[in-house]
């Protein structure tokens, strides 16, 4: 006989229904600016191969007015200029982005907390201040609509992380990053979806459901900042802010064809988020960072230039930085196009050349053909323009330290045992989502301090080896040290953007967090049919390097994967610089964007 307790549904189910109802109400409030997507434009869910990719990225443009489309397509410098001159009001801009964000939500399920009423009230206050002060803006980012990952606290709203146990428990204070953004004049329009435990590279949880890739619903949108990647790609936010510890900014950027920028620790406020472990424990292991996801590197540079010099005033986890100004950047308001067009970079070469090393494998996974192709294309394009940009491109062998780093990173990320997260999941009877079923263990315990010290000692050894083997630091007969490499270009993953639940190796992104190297995603092009090598298998002489490699190869095995699913998906490369060389990373990413995509990509058709 079934007991009464066992016949009752798990508590999380009712909480999820109520939370989704609350979100739906917020999505269409106020009704004066809400947009309902017609049923015939909504994709089929859940997606199946028979339905095809069902791209939806183009649909908002069909439903919005010409004015809304113009506003939401403006590059940040142009948008801010029009706000600064009074040509556009903050409320007009906010309304346009709110409408596009609401459509993006209906098509991709990318939002957790639509902050539309709050945002419009804030925009009106900016307009009132602008009028009262005779056209003076509140800050350099006056009226800029932005979004943040769900974990960042916004007072009066949940930071539920997609966990039922955290729903309907609004936070009391703003995260330092939220306070900093608003002090600059930004308007926060929404919080975005994430995966259960924040440790998945596929954004799905039991409260809000799955976020879908707007270009191909059969493929993952990435994680853990998956909602941010999708919303920015759909132009539902002028710029978004995520967090990254294993690739959680860079992977969603890769999956959605936008730019993702992971700075060094201390450059942007990270604190003020919903805790998932004992407070302070993260400082014993490896620290996550916050960073932007954007539609252009010009947008990333503009926002970082305003955030970084002020960050230490708002957050104890940031280092003082009097300025953040990359090569070629002119004064605010200058014609930004002059920052490109053949900027010369000086570096470590014998004649001052900027030396870029190409890393093709981490030693744990072989590259599948589309990834190998795009890395080779970027290297060739840089070599072709080497004189114009004063660049020298060199091929680097795989450092043994890079190969070993994924194992050390995994150990450090699990030193807390996951007990706090486990308790929150169990509290309301939630099951683990599919990707986490074999990766998350309940009942874990924090590692003893002596064990943490052992792992940190392993990390230190790897850091020393990377200085020698990647950055080419050498010592002459007088004890003077010189460096041989200024930046790295490498893959973000050994495979293309995979199908839902099939993301595999994270070593190409997580390792750079272990070393605290700033790293970023630069979109290059779409997958084309020639990349698929249909009917051809990987060379039989290629040795299987690891269990990760074995699973990665399944994404290419035509008995297990229809390679045509990758057609039209996004191909990107990763740029990396040494610790705290964040400004240099901006320059490298701009360089790659300009050389490979041309000035149109770097500026998105900017008009100043």
Tell me the longest C-alpha to C-alpha distance in the chain.
85
- Can 262 be counted among the known catalytic residues? no
- Can 248 be counted among the known catalytic residues? yes
- Residue 462 near residue 403 (C-beta atoms within 8 A): no
- CB burial of 455-480 (b: ≥16 within 10 Å; e: otherwise) equals bbebbeebbebbbebbbbbeeeeeee
A 10 A CB-CB count for 397 gives 12
Place of tokens 């098509």: 107
Please report, for residues 263, 355, 362, 397, 408, the alpha-carbon distance to residue 401 in angstroms, rounded to integers and kept in the order given: 21, 21, 9, 11, 10
Q: What is the dihedral of CA 215, 216, 217, 222, to 10 degrees?
A: -70
444, exposed or middle or buried, with CB in 10 Å at 0-12, 13-18, 19+?
A: middle
Q: Of 160, 248, 348, 510, which residue is the catalytic one?
A: 248
- Spatial distance between the Cα atoms of 263 and 319, rounded to a whole number of angstroms: 12
Q: Of 102, 224, 264, 511, which residue is the catalytic one?
A: 224
- Residue 154 near residue 76 (C-beta atoms within 8 A): no
Q: Of 149, 191, 570, 590, which residue is the catalytic one?
A: 149
Q: What is the 3-state secondary structure (H, E, C) of 318-354?
A: CCCCCCCCCCCCCCCCCCHHHHCCCCCCCCCCCCCCE
- Can 160 be counted among the known catalytic residues? no
Eight-state DSSP code of residue 597: I
| β-strand partners of 572 | 523
Question: Which residue, among 200, 202, 204, 208, has the nearest Cα to 166 in the 3D structure?
Answer: 208
- Residue 597 near residue 540 (C-beta atoms within 8 A): no
**Helix, coil or strand: residue 530:** helix
475 — phi, psi (to 5°)?
Answer: -120, 130
**Helix, coil or strand: residue 56:** coil
Pull the structure tokens for residue 180. 């900093």
Output Rg (C-alpha) for the chain, integer angstroms. 23
- Spatial distance between the Cα atoms of 381 and 358, rounded to a whole number of angstroms: 13
DSSP 283-325: GGS---EEEEEES-HHHHHHHHHHHGGGHHHH-TTS---S---
- Residue 71 near residue 231 (C-beta atoms within 8 A): no
Q: CA 36 from chain center: how many Å?
A: 28
Residues serving a catalytic function are 149, 224, 248
């Amino acid at each position: 006989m079934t007991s009464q307790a066992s016949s009752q549904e798990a508590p999380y189910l009712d909480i999820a229904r109520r939370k989704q109802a609350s979100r739906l109400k917020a999505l269409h409030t106020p009704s004066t600016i809400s947009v309902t997507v017609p049923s015939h434009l909504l994709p089929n869910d859940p997606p199946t191969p028979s339905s095809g990719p069902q791209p939806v990225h183009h649909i908002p443009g069909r439903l919005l007015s010409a004015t809304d489309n113009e506003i939401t397509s403006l590059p940040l410098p142009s948008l801010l200029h029009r706000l600064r001159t009074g040509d556009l009001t903050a409320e007009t801009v906010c309304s346009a982005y709110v409408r596009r964000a609401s459509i993006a939500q209906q098509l991709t399920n990318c939002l957790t907390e639509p902050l539309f009423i709050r945002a419009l009230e804030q925009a009106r206050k900016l307009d009132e201040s602008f009028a009262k002060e005779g056209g003076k803006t509140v800050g350099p980012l006056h009226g800029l609509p932005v979004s943040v990952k769900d974990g960042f606290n916004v007072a009066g709203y949940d930071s539920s992380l997609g966990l039922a146990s955290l729903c309907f428990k609004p936070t009391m204070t703003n995260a330092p990053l939220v306070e900093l953004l608003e002090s600059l004049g930004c308007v926060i329009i929404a919080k975005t979806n994430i995966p259960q435990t924040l440790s998945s590279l596929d954004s799905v949880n039991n409260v809000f459901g799955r976020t879908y890739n707007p270009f191909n619903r059969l493929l993952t949108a990435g994680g853990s900042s998956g909602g941010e990647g999708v919303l920015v790609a759909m132009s539902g936010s002028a710029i978004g802010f995520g967090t990254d510890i294993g690739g959680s900014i860079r992977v969603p950027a890769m999956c959605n064809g936008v730019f993702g920028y992971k700075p060094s620790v201390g450059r942007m406020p990270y604190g003020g988020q919903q805790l998932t472990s004992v407070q302070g424990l993260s400082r014993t292991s490896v620290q996550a960072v916050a960073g932007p996801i954007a539609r252009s590197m010009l947008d990333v540079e503009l926002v970082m230039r305003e955030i970084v010099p002020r960050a230490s005033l708002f957050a104890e986890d940031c280092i003082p930085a009097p300025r953040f100004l990359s090569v070629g950047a002119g004064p605010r308001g200058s014609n930004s196009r002059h920052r490109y067009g053949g900027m010369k970079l000086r570096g470590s070469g014998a004649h001052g050349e900027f030396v870029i090393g190409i890393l093709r494998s981490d030693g744990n996974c072989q590259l599948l053909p589309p990834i190998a192709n795009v890395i080779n294309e970027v290297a060739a394009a840089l070599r072709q323009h080497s004189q114009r940009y004063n660049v020298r491109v060199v091929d680097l062998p795989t450092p043994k330290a890079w190969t070993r780093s994924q194992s050390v990173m995994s150990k450090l990320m699990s030193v807390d045992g996951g007990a706090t997260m486990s308790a929150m999941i169990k509290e309301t009877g939630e099951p683990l989502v599919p990707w986490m079923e074999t990766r998350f263990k309940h009942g874990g315990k924090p590692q003893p301090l002596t064990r943490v010290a052992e792992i940190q000692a392993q990390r230190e050894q790897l850091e020393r080896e990377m200085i020698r083997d990647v950055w080419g630091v050498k010592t002459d007969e007088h004890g003077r040290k010189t460096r041989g490499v200024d930046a790295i270009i490498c893959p973000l993953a050994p495979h293309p953007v995979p199908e839902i639940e099939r993301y595999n190796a994270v070593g190409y992104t997580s390792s750079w967090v272990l070393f605290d190297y700033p790293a970023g995603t630069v979109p290059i092009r779409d997958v084309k049919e020639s990349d698929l090598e249909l009917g051809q298998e990987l060379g039989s002489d290629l040795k299987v390097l690891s269990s990760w490699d074995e699973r990665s190869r399944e994404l290419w095995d035509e008995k297990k994967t229809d390679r045509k699913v990758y057609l039209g998906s996004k191909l990107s490369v990763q740029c990396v610089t040494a610790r705290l060389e964040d400004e240099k990373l901006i320059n490298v990413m701009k360089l790659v964007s300009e050389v490979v995509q041309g000035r149109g990509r770097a500026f998105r058709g900017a008009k100043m």
